[in-house]
Amino acid sequence: IEFTNFSLAHFIPLILLGVVIFLIIRYKDKIKEFKHEKTIRMTLAFMLIICEMSYFWRLVGVPSLNPNPVDHLPITVCGWAVVFASYLMVTKSQTLFDIIYFWLLSGTLISIFTPSAVLSFTGPTRFRYYQFWFEHTLGFVALFYMMFVHKMRPRWISMAKSAIALLILAVIAFSANEILGPGANYLFLAKPEDTPSILDILPSNMALRMLIMASVISAFFFLAYLPWLLLDRKKAKLES
C-alpha cells in the first residue's frame, strides 16, 4: 500500500502522539514523584535506540534492499535527534536537550507533517512505516517528557548550540555527498529529492536552495523559541 500525506495512515500516528503528550502534561507531577520514574526514562531511552537501529538491522538482514553507503549512512537530522534524545533520557544533559529541541521542532516537525518523502512506497503493510513513526514520535515524547516532567527549557544560547551541531552535521553530509559522488544526497544538499515533499517549492539552484533552507531553518528556530521569549517577558513584567 502506498503512503499518502493527510490520509488515515498519516493522521492516526499524529493523533496518538498528541494523546501521549497530553497525558504527559496532565500527569507531569505524578510522573515526577513516581518511584520508578527513572525506569520510565531508561525504557524510553532503550526504545529510541532500538527504533533507530532497527532501520539498519533490517537493511543488513534483507539483502534485497541493497544496503549501500550512497543511500544508507546514518547522516540524518531525525536519526541523530533520536540518538541524542535517548542519551538525554539517561543523562538529563542540557546541551542534548538544546540540540534536539530545535532539531525536532524544525526538521523533524516537517518530516512528520510531510512524510511522503520517506514513505512514498511504504504504507501500513510495511515495516518501514512503523519504524518511521515510532522513531519520529518517540523523539517528541522524550522532548515533552523532559520539558514538563523535569522542567527543562531552552535559552537564547540553546539556539547557537543547536545551530552549530546542525552545521557540523551538514558539513559531514556535504563531504559524504562529494566523496560518494552521483546518487549521494544526504540532507538533500546535493540535489532536490526524488519524492514529493514541502522542499519541492524551493529552486533547483543549490546555492540559492541552501540559502533559503538556512533562512527557513533560522525562522523555525526562532518560532520554536518564541513561546519561551514571551513567557520570560510576561514573567519579567509581573516581577517589575
Q: What is the pLDDT of residues 203-221, one digit of tens each?
A: 667 777 778 878 888 999 9
User: Residue 164 and residue 98: Cα distance in Å, rounded?
Assistant: 11
For residue 202, what pLDDT band results from cuts at 50, 70 and 90?
A: low
C-beta of residue 83 within 8 angstroms of C-beta of residue 52: yes
User: Residue 58 and residue 54: Cα distance in Å, rounded?
Assistant: 6
For the segment 92-126, what is each residue's pLDDT rounded down to a tens digit?
Answer: 999 999 999 999 998 888 888 877 666 667 788 88
User: Residue 86 and residue 42: Cα distance in Å, rounded?
Assistant: 8
Helices marked H in the chain — which ranges? 8-26, 28-33, 37-61, 69-72, 77-91, 94-103, 109-113, 116-119, 127-148, 156-180, 206-239
User: Residue 168 and residue 212: Cα distance in Å, rounded?
Assistant: 18
For the segment 134-192, what is each residue's pLDDT rounded down to a tens digit?
Answer: 999 999 999 999 999 999 999 999 999 999 999 999 999 989 998 998 888 888 777 66
Q: What is the pLDDT of residue 45?
A: 97
Cα atoms found within 13 Å of the Cα of residue 200, Cβ hemisphere only: 8
For residue 231, what pLDDT band results from cuts at 50, 70 and 90?
A: very high
User: Residue 4 and residue 197: Cα distance in Å, rounded?
Assistant: 11
Q: Indicate the residue type of 187.
A: L
